[in-house]
Amino acid sequence: MTNDTTSTPHDEDSTTDFGFNRVNRGDKAGMVRGVFDSVAGRYDLMNDLMSGGIHRIWKRFTIELSAVRPGQTVLDIAGGTGDLAAKFSRLVGPEGQVILADINAAMLAVGRDRLIDKGATGNVQVVQADAQQLPFEDNSIDCITIAFGLRNVTDKDHGDALYAARFTARR
């Protein structure tokens, strides 16, 4: 028996942000997937146009802040078309490893092609994964990044993505 008689599709707990709207939690992942499926081939151009190129500066700043060193393992969650992964690949070198993880196969396909074009292949692994259920061992990663991705994650309000990442990072 349940006494949850007040529950409606637009309850605080049953909805989440999607752009400027509130949508049912269960619908969000599919809606996010639809957006990135449809833009994957144009994502990089759109990113440059819509941000006025600022995303490149933020990414450079992120790389500098990370202080990643040769030989380390880096996980880029919601890594999309692989901007950060390509940069980290150069930093960690042949002894290190970069994991480009994203839930969307279309974005990863574009990312894989770009990494090949940039010659960043030997030390980069491409993994289709949900930020909320990371398939990596605890304490296995030196540095974890997520760029412009957290807002797309359904349960970010509850911190699930960050929680999952916390255990994956080396302590």
Ligand X SMILES: C[S@@+](CC[C@H](N)C(=O)[O-])C[C@H]1O[C@@H](n2cnc3c(N)ncnc32)[C@H](O)[C@@H]1O
Which is closer to ligand X, CB of 14 or CB of 62?
Answer: 62
Q: Which residue's entry shows tokens 């901007």?
A: 83
Output the smallest distance, CB 103 to ligand X, in A.
Answer: 4
Which is closer to ligand X, CB of 92 or CB of 161?
Answer: 161
For residue 66, which phi and psi values (nearest 5 degrees)?
-65, -30
Output the smallest distance, CB 148 to ligand X, in A.
Answer: 4
Nearest-angstrom CA–CA distance, 169 and 140: 6
Please report, as ranges, the residues that interact with ligand X according to CB under 6 A. 32, 36, 47, 77-80, 83, 102-104, 107, 130-132, 147-149, 152-153
Q: Are strands 21-24 and 15-18 parallel, antiparallel or unpaired?
A: antiparallel
Output the smallest distance, CB 65 to ligand X, in A.
Answer: 15
9-25: string of b/e by CB count within 10 Å (b at 16+)?
eeeeeebbebeeeebeb
Q: How many CA atoms lie within 13 A of 170 on its CB side?
A: 8
Output the smallest distance, CB 101 to ligand X, in A.
Answer: 7
Which is closer to ligand X, CB of 8 or CB of 53?
Answer: 53
Residue 88 buriedness (CB in 10 A; 0-12 / 13-18 / 19+): buried
Which is closer to ligand X, CB of 96 or CB of 149?
Answer: 149
Output the smallest distance, CB 36 to ligand X, in A.
Answer: 4
Which is closer to ligand X, CB of 78 or CB of 99?
Answer: 78
Three-state SS at 127: strand
Closest residue to ligand X: CB criterion: 80
